[in-house]
């Protein structure tokens, strides 16, 4: 593999390495979380990076305040003795999703259903422009997970269960983040995650929360969830995420490794290690996979960043061993995220004690600087402020809306009830989710767990329907479905509660009692029943589907609810196809060779609805 940098730039890095003190090198290897960073510490300690975790926004949460915050950190880094520009990182996993006003695209599971690399490339570009507008140049995306157990709370972060599709879409996204070149002014460094086999962990193997349901974890104590922690744990939270992948090496190589190979060929310079283990050994301590396979065999020349507080899990109670093992295994930068001074002192002591070699430190810093130089940060540590006008702009929302339209998968359509006829005398719309922007965006939206209601500007499905249906007055919205009127067609919109990571692990995947009660009410009042499901994964609906005339899997579409309405009303065709098998029963939610499906991967009806009218613009 050719080196990403010119001879001249490589010489610059070697010169810097020759001049830097051990403390400065360790500073580059340190990533702190922005709420923990004390004023002056970026310069004093020469921190290499600062991040915003999920929901890590400034107050007020505006694009301008984001830019000011990030710019402040960058300025401080330039004022440090070495003056190496800081690289700020965020999780822009479906648009710049922590920022109020940004365009929120469908989560990856929806993009997988589009099977459209060109679209995903444009989403990557739009995301990069909005990220760069806030002076951020590093995005912890794309996730190239291959979720095997749909009960996993991160299933929606994966494009598909098909490694070839995941590789194609990930490469397209990476090309979008890159734009015209890594050194172009609006390129954003992708973090391909989580290396490796994060999607193969087995139910019951997660150790994040102990068996008594007690979390000793600072992070989880901070997380805000719609439901209480206790109730979530009873439903299966933290059973799969961060667990152990018991698969054999052949499976690891044929299913989970290919997207990394493809991403490296596309020139990525950052990979994030997975919290999970492979055959009992945590990835953050997995020297053969991080160093021999990733950096050796696959020729990866960029740097490996740890996941959030992940090294702390290697040897609970023995932080020095955590640090030494992770760095020796091949972790180059540590997402600490809280007590960065402790990390710095500890790594220094490990080097001085000879448990981590100076050569390993130089290698780590060389890799980090390679990415910084490749991004052109030394010549241009800040982006152009004029980019701010692009955050949430109509052009980006149009791309998101296209993605929404293409992500919808029509799985049942008795008597062609869809698209909805414009001549219907009335349409009943039921379900609070029909008018809930937070629910349609899901987790990783404004906050880590996501939320309900108008958390950021956008259009709900109901608003879209009122616009697209031709006769807005004929759209009757009854959130709880209780009505005494009779309707030719009822549209029920159901949604999972928003969640992220292990908080979304579930023992079973089913509709809630509240969903079932709503469906029963709507069924009674309507001749035809159309169900739209907003979810991060397939739910087991085998018993209910016979009662429905039409069923649309809409995933987590994001801020552009118009896109859903356009397709329901026939302004655009259904073209989405499942990126995952849809399980038949609870016994089939974790994929095995004998799993049975209600629908197979690739399923999706594409009714030809005669003439397709032109799209009406969003006002």
Taking the complex as a whole, the smallest distance from the CB of residue 157 to ligand BGC amounts, in Å, to: 8
Cα three-residue angle 465-467-473, rounded to 5 degrees: 80
**Is position 307 annotated as part of the catalytic site?**
yes
Q: Which of 80, 86, 79, 22 is nearest to 48 (CA)?
A: 86
Contacts of 112 (CB under 8 A, 6+ apart): 158, 159, 160, 165, 166, 169, 579, 580
Helix axes 163-178, 258-265, angle to 10 degrees: 30
Provide the minimum distance between the beta carbon of 565 and ligand BGC in the complex, in angstroms, as a whole number.
32
What gap in Å lies between CA 216 and CA 205, rounded to an integer?
A: 17
CA separation (Å) from 552 to 212, 406, 408? Answer: 39, 12, 7
Cα(370)–Cα(323) distance, rounded to whole angstroms?
23
CB of 79 to ligand BGC, least distance (A): 26
Residues that bind ligand BGC (CB under 6 A): 53-55, 91, 140, 193, 219, 222-223, 307-308, 448, 501
Nearer of residues 306 and 468 to ligand BGC, judged by Cβ: 306
Query: What is the number of residues in the chain?
Result: 619
Nearer Cβ to ligand BGC (363/501): 501
* CB of 356 vs ligand BGC, minimal distance in Å: 24
Least distance from C-beta 466 to ligand BGC, angstroms? 35
Return the residue nearest ligand BGC (CB atom): 53
CB-nearer residue toward ligand BGC: 243 or 576: 243
Q: Which is nearer to ligand BGC, 146 or 461 (CB)?
A: 146
| Residue 508: partners with Cβ closer than 8 Å, 6 or more residues away | 151, 236, 540, 586, 589
Strands (E), 414-472: 427-430
- Closest distance to ligand BGC from the beta carbon of 556 (Å): 16
First-to-last alpha carbon distance for the chain, in angstroms, is: 49
Q: Is 501 a known active-site residue?
A: yes
Catalytically annotated residue among 116, 198, 244, 307: 307
In the complex, least distance from residue 192 CB atom to ligand BGC, rounded to whole angstroms: 11
Instruction: Tell whether omega for the bond before 142 is within 30 degrees of 0, i.e. cis.
Output: yes
**Inter-CA distances, 8 with 12, 182, 290, 373, 374, Å:** 6, 16, 28, 11, 12
Give the Cα separation of 528 and 488 in Å (integer): 6
Rounded CA-CA distance 182/448 in Å is: 28
3-class SS of residue 110: helix
Closest CA to 6 of 554, 273, 373: 373
Catalytic residue among 33, 157, 501, 588: 501
Q: Which lies closer to ligand BGC via its Cβ, residue 50 or residue 257?
A: 50
| Smaller CB separation from ligand BGC, 240 or 568 | 240
Judged by beta carbon, residue 443 or residue 490, the one nearer ligand BGC is 443
Q: 493: burial class by Cβ within 10 Å (0-12, 13-18, 19+)?
A: buried
Closer Cβ to ligand BGC, 53 or 431, answer by number: 53
Partners of 412 in the beta sheet?
Answer: 551
The minimum distance between CB 337 and ligand BGC, in angstroms, equals 8
Q: What are the beta bridge partners of residue 553?
A: 409, 533
Active site residues: 307, 501
């Amino acid at each position: 593999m050719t080196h990403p940098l010119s001879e001249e730039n490589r010489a610059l890095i070697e010169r810097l390495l020759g001049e830097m003190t051990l403390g400065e090198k360790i500073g580059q290897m340190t990533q702190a979380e922005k709420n923990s960073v004390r004023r002056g510490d970026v310069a004093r300690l020469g921190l290499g990076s600062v991040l915003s975790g999920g929901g890590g926004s400034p107050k007020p949460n505006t694009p301008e305040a984001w830019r000011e915050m990030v710019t402040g950190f960058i300025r401080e880094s330039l004022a440090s003795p070495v003056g190496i520009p800081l690289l700020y990182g965020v999780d822009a996993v479906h648009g710049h999703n922590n920022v109020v006003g940004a365009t929120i695209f469908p989560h990856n599971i929806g993009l997988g259903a589009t099977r459209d690399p060109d679209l995903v490339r444009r989403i990557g570009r739009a995301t990069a422009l909005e990220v760069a507008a806030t002076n951020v140049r590093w995005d912890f995306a794309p996730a190239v997970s291959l979720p095997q157990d749909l009960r996993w709370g991160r299933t929606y972060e994966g494009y598909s269960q098909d490694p070839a599709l995941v590789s194609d879409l990930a490469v397209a996204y990476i090309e979008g983040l890159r734009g015209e070149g890594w050194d172009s002014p609006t390129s954003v460094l992708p973090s391909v995650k989580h290396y490796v086999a994060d999607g193969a962990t087995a139910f019951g193997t997660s150790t994040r929360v102990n068996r008594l349901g007690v979390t000793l974890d600072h992070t989880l104590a901070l997380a805000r969830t719609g439901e209480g922690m206790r109730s979530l744990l009873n439903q299966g939270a933290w059973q799969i995420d961060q667990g152990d992948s018991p698969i054999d090496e052949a499976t690891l190589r044929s299913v989970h490794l290919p997207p990394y190979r493809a991403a490296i060929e596309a020139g990525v310079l950052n990979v994030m290690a997975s919290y999970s283990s492979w055959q009992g050994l945590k990835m953050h301590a997995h020297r053969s996979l991080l160093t021999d396979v990733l950096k050796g065999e696959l020729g990866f020349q960029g740097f490996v960043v740890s996941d959030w507080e992940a090294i702390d899990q290697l040897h609970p109670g023995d932080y020095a061993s955590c640090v030494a093992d992770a760095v020796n295994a091949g972790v180059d930068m540590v997402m600490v995220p809280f007590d960065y001074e402790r990390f710095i002192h500890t790594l220094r002591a490990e080097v001085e004690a000879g448990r981590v070699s100076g050569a390993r430190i130089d290698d780590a810093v060389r890799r980090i600087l390679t990415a910084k130089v490749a991004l052109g940060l030394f010549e241009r540590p800040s982006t152009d402020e004029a980019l701010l006008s692009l955050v949430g702009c109509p052009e980006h929302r149009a791309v998101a809306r296209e993605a929404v339209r293409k992500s919808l998968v029509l799985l049942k359509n008795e008597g062609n009830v869809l698209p909805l006829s414009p001549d219907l005398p009335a349409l009943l719309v039921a379900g609070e989710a029909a008018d809930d922007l937070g629910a349609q965006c899901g987790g990783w939206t404004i906050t880590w767990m996501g939320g309900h209601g108008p958390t950021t500007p956008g259009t709900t499905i109901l608003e879209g329907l009122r616009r697209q249906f031709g006769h807005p007055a004929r759209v009757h919205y009854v959130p709880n479905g209780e009505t005494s009127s009779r309707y030719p067609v009822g549209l029920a919109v159901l949604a999972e509660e928003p969640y992220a990571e292990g908080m979304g692990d579930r023992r079973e995947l089913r509709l809630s009692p509240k969903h079932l009660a709503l469906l029963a009410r709507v069924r009674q009042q309507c001749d035809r029943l159309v169900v739209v499901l907003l979810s991060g994964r397939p739910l087991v609906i085998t018993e209910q589907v016979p009662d429905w005339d039409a069923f649309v899997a809409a995933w987590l579409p994001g801020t552009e609810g118009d896109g859903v309405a356009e397709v329901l009303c026939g302004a655009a065709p259904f073209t989405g196809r499942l990126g995952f098998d849809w399980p038949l029963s609870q016994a089939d939610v974790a994929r095995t060779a004998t799993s049975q499906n209600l629908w197979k991967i690739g399923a999706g009806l594409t009714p030809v609805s005669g003439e397709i009218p032109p799209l009406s613009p969003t006002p």
